[in-house]
Amino acid sequence: MAIVSLANVSKSYPSPERGAPRIVAVDDVSLEIEAGEVTGIIGYSGAGKSTLVRLINALEPATDGTVTIDGRAITGLPERELRAVRLGIGMIFQQFNLFEAKTVAQNVAYPLKVAGWGKAEITARVQELLDFVGLADKARAYPDQLSGGQKQRVGIARALATRPRILLADEATSALDPETTQEVLALLKRVNEEYGVTMVVITHEMDVIQSIATKVAVMDGGRVIEQGDVFDVFSDPQHASSRKFVSTVVQGVPSPAELAVLRERHAGRIATFSFRDGDAAQARVFVELAQAGLEFELVYGGINDIRGRAFGHLTLAIRGEEAAIDRALARIGELVAVTEPPIGDGAVGDGAVGGGAVGDGAVGDGAQDGEAR
Amino acid sequence: MDKLIDLGPEFWTAAGETLYMVFFTMLFGGLAGLVLGIGLYVTRTGGLLPNVVVNNVLNVLINFFRPIPFIIFIAAVQPLTRAVIGIGIGTNAAVFALSLAASFAIGRIVEQNLLTVKPGVIEAARSMGAGPWRILTTVVIGEALGPLILGYTFIIVAVIDMSAMAGFLGGGGLGYFAQLYGYRQFEPIVTWAAVLLIIVFVQIVQYLGNWLARKVLRR
């Protein structure tokens, strides 16, 4: 059974302007999160990601629908009972949100005091947690004496103090440099694997998804427009809007600006071929092009690895007779996904020839500024 | 100079009165202001215990009294002073008027300093299941302690200033001393002696305030 379940959940706020329609931050979202999974929530800023995770620990009450945690519906519970629910859900933040006036040890001890633990138990647990995150020597330091990575490790220790079964991470690595991001991600991975903590991570970084997520949900305009296994969503996004977002974070897909440059530099038709492991080998593509008597060159590309499974995108400039190119692309389209970015726009995903189904493009028209706290 | 030496006992009595007034004003006004400021802070929209009605009442109350010049406030509040402490003049009457006036100013300063606490820190405490009062007492006040100390230091200096007007209702103090023995009797040295002592008080208060705030902020 899902440990977190959202059923037709919406969150709207009264508009600051009198008479204006309510601002919809989360719009009719249904999402099931299985115990032990790491679910990435991705999407552009303003898509409603932050609000969505705050519905899970009821920092934001849902205006519609039902949020169920561990089989218990929490929507509409009185504040006092919600506090008890929150003790079982840890949360970490982009800006760490440590208590600056408290030491590292006091920060980690805080949720335990809230939970009513005894003094000796708290001391032992704080020590255990600081050992786990590798900051035992910093127990008496204050947050302003720590680096960003150390601060987030304190944040993780603090969030895990009461042994929650769920951890919410709101852009937890976005304020860190790449190396520190890897450290923190490795720690989160250990949290998931050693303690079996279910995680919901908001992110816009491919690194985060690649290294820890098992499932992913794409948000746009307050809706979850696509969800599934990370590999499936990233290698073959079904929805136009998620395709657009995915193309901005995965390697090998040229941006519209890069496409314009490529067109200037290379004569011929530009086409992008998307491979997934298990699909026909790349070699077949080249063989088909060669057999059709076409001249081609590789102008852009990249291979992504998600949990040992690879997918990639290669963009070629193809020269030859138009009709011959059409025939060759149609044949290749039966083997792999072929995309010909239309001239002038260049957004990958529109006008796909064969391959993945074209999304309907009608993205929820909910308000974009749903990140209100 | 001889004149000042003759006035020695009166001078030290006046200094004592000033310290007495400042001390008790900060005790009563400081506490009342803390309550007012916390009230403003927690009841504001998006606050820990949002309550539009209470917030508006407190705001109007403070905005009504704060702009009144203290010398007028002292006179206007005299009936209330008489009702509360039984007499409308004297040092204690001055303490009452000072405490009342200071509490409104302190309320604002406390509110402003509590607002410097980052919303994210409060959200973090909420995410751990802490309730509003626990967050206020164990997170917000601790996080804002440095600025609060500096705010109170600022107010002590302002109260020293205001206490100089206590002579208006027979409250004594250094202000009254300077006025009576210095200004009216054409003895600038006497006036300046009072001024110097007030400057010394202010310097000591500011130094201690800065020192304490630095200790709390660890920088």
Read off the pLDDT band of A278 (50, 70, 90). Answer: low
Interatomic CA distance for residues B187 and B181, integer angstroms = 7
Is residue B139 less than 8 Å (CB to CB) from chain A? yes
Out of A102, A115, A168, whose CB is closest to B142? A102
Put simply, the chain A residues between 153 and 192 with a CB less than 8 A from any chain B CB are: 158-159, 162, 168
Q: Based on the domain organization, do A186 and A281 belong to the same domain?
A: no
Residues in B touching A115 (Cβ below 8 Å): 129
Residues in A touching B124 (Cβ below 8 Å): 91, 93, 97-99, 158
- The per-residue pLDDT for range A35-86, each reduced to its tens digit, is 999 999 988 888 888 999 999 988 988 899 999 998 888 888 888 889 989 9
Read off the pLDDT band of A199 (50, 70, 90). Answer: very high
How much is the pLDDT for A344? 57
Candidate from A29-33, A307-311, B91-95, B101-105 with smallest mean pLDDT: A307-311
Domain membership of residue A95 (yes or no) is yes
Nearest residue on chain B to A113, alpha-carbon basis: B130
Contact criterion met (CB < 8 Å) for A142 and B118: no
Interatomic CA distance for residues A66 and A63, integer angstroms = 9
Candidate from A21-35, A41-55, A204-218, B4-18 with smallest mean pLDDT: B4-18
Coarse DSSP helix, strand, coil percentages of chain A, rounded to the nearest 5 percent: 35, 25, 35
Interatomic CA distance for residues B59 and B61, integer angstroms = 5
Q: Based on the domain organization, do A110 and A187 belong to the same domain?
A: yes
Interatomic CA distance for residues A192 and A213, integer angstroms = 10
Interatomic CA distance for residues B33 and B105, integer angstroms = 7
Contact criterion met (CB < 8 Å) for B128 and A87: yes
Read off the pLDDT band of A206 (50, 70, 90). Answer: confident
Read off the pLDDT band of B140 (50, 70, 90). Answer: very high
Count CA atoms closer than 13 A to A362's CA, side-chain side: 1
- The per-residue pLDDT for range B38-67, each reduced to its tens digit, is 999 999 988 899 899 999 999 999 999 888
For residue A313, give its domain range: 251-353
Residues in A touching B127 (Cβ below 8 Å): 57, 59, 86, 89-91, 159, 168
Rounded to the nearest integer, the mean pLDDT of chain A is 84
- The per-residue pLDDT for range B149-203, each reduced to its tens digit, is 999 999 999 998 888 887 778 777 888 888 887 778 887 888 888 889 889 999 9
Q: Based on the domain organization, do A212 and A284 belong to the same domain?
A: no
Domain membership of residue A368 (yes or no) is no
Interatomic CA distance for residues A83 and A60, integer angstroms = 12
Is the Cβ–Cβ distance between A38 and A212 less than 8 Å? yes
CA distance B114 to chain A (A): 14
- The per-residue pLDDT for range A280-334, each reduced to its tens digit, is 567 888 888 888 888 888 888 888 877 778 888 888 889 888 888 888 888 888 8
Q: Based on the domain organization, do A70 and A138 belong to the same domain?
A: yes
What CATH number does residue B189 fall under? Answer: 1.10.3720.10
Nearest residue on chain A to B140, alpha-carbon basis: A99
Domain membership of residue A369 (yes or no) is no
User: Does the pLDDT value for residue A365 go beyond 70?
Assistant: no
Domain membership of residue A182 (yes or no) is yes
CA distance B142 to chain A (A): 6
Contact criterion met (CB < 8 Å) for A97 and B124: yes
Is residue B216 less than 8 Å (CB to CB) from chain A? yes
Indicate the number of domains in chain A: 2
Nearest residue on chain A to B125, alpha-carbon basis: A111
Candidate from A186-200, A309-323, A337-351, B120-134 with smallest mean pLDDT: A337-351
How much is the pLDDT for A367? 38
Read off the pLDDT band of A127 (50, 70, 90). Answer: very high
Mean pLDDT on A124-149: 92
DSSP E strand boundaries for A148-252: 166-170, 198-202, 215-220, 223-229
What CATH number does residue A24 fall under? Answer: 3.40.50.300
Pick from A126, A124, A92, A128: nearest CA to A108 = A126
Residues in chain A: 373
Out of B125, B130, B143, whose CB is closest to A101? B143
CA distance B57 to chain A (A): 22
Pick from B185, B43, B48, B61: nearest CA to B122 = B48
Nearest residue on chain B to A94, alpha-carbon basis: B120
Contact criterion met (CB < 8 Å) for B124 and A93: yes
Q: Based on the domain organization, do A185 and A262 belong to the same domain?
A: no
Mean pLDDT on B70-82: 87
Interatomic CA distance for residues A49 and A209, integer angstroms = 15
Q: Based on the domain organization, do A266 and A228 belong to the same domain?
A: no
Contact criterion met (CB < 8 Å) for A102 and B216: no
CA distance B30 to chain A (A): 23
Q: Based on the domain organization, do A263 and A331 belong to the same domain?
A: yes
Q: Tokens representing B124?
A: 């973090």
Rounded to the nearest integer, the mean pLDDT of chain B is 88
What CATH number does residue A334 fall under? Answer: 3.30.70.260
How much is the pLDDT for A253? 81
Residue A88, classified by CB atoms within 10 Å of its CB into exposed (0-12), middle (13-18) or buried (19+), is middle
Q: Based on the domain organization, do A86 and A234 belong to the same domain?
A: yes
Nearest residue on chain B to A79, alpha-carbon basis: B131
Residues in B touching A84 (Cβ below 8 Å): 129
Q: Tokens representing A25?
A: 């931050």
Domain membership of residue A85 (yes or no) is yes
How much is the pLDDT for A338? 85
SS3 A55: helix
Interatomic CA distance for residues A247 and A224, integer angstroms = 18
Q: Based on the domain organization, do A43 and A58 belong to the same domain?
A: yes
- The per-residue pLDDT for range A331-356, each reduced to its tens digit, is 888 888 888 877 654 444 443 333 33
Interatomic CA distance for residues A325 and A226, integer angstroms = 33
Interface test with A, best of B117, B121, B128 (most A CBs within 10 A): B128
Count CA atoms closer than 13 A to A25's CA, side-chain side: 24
For residue B109, give its domain range: 2-217
Q: What are the residues whose beta carbons fall under 8 Å from the beta carbon of A357, sequence distance 6 or more? A: A238
Interatomic CA distance for residues A367 and A296, integer angstroms = 44
Q: Based on the domain organization, do A149 and A296 belong to the same domain?
A: no
Residues in B touching A87 (Cβ below 8 Å): 128-129
Domain membership of residue A362 (yes or no) is no
How much is the pLDDT for B207? 93
Interatomic CA distance for residues B113 and B100, integer angstroms = 20
Task: State which of A245, A260, A282 marks the end of a domain.
Answer: A245
Interatomic CA distance for residues A52 and A250, integer angstroms = 24
Indicate the number of domains in chain B: 1
Contact criterion met (CB < 8 Å) for B118 and A95: yes
Q: Tokens representing B128?
A: 């751990």
Question: Can you state the angle between helices B52-65 and B91-114, rounded to 10 degrees?
Answer: 130
Interatomic CA distance for residues A260 and A162, integer angstroms = 53
Out of B127, B131, B142, whose CB is closest to A91? B127
ipTM: 0.84
Q: Tokens representing A320?
A: 């030859």
Q: Based on the domain organization, do A271 and A345 belong to the same domain?
A: yes
Is residue A347 less than 8 Å (CB to CB) from chain B? no
Q: Based on the domain organization, do A205 and A304 belong to the same domain?
A: no
Domain membership of residue A75 (yes or no) is yes
Pick from A152, A254, A249, A156: nearest CA to A205 = A249
Which has more pLDDT, A362 or A287?
A287
Secondary structure, 3-state, chain B: CHHHHHCHHHHHHHHHHHHHHHHHHHHHHHHHHHHHHHHHHHHCCCCCCCCHHHHHHHHHHHHHHCCCCHHHHHHHCHHHHHHHHCCCCCHHHHHHHHHHHHHHHHHHHHHHHHCCCCHHHHHHHHHCCCCHHHHHHHHHHHHCHHHHHHHHHHHHHHHHHHHCCHHHHCCCCHHHHHHHHHHCCCCHHHHHHHHHHHHHHHHHHHHHHHHHHHHHHCC
Is the Cβ–Cβ distance between A116 and A87 less than 8 Å? no
Contact criterion met (CB < 8 Å) for A99 and B145: no
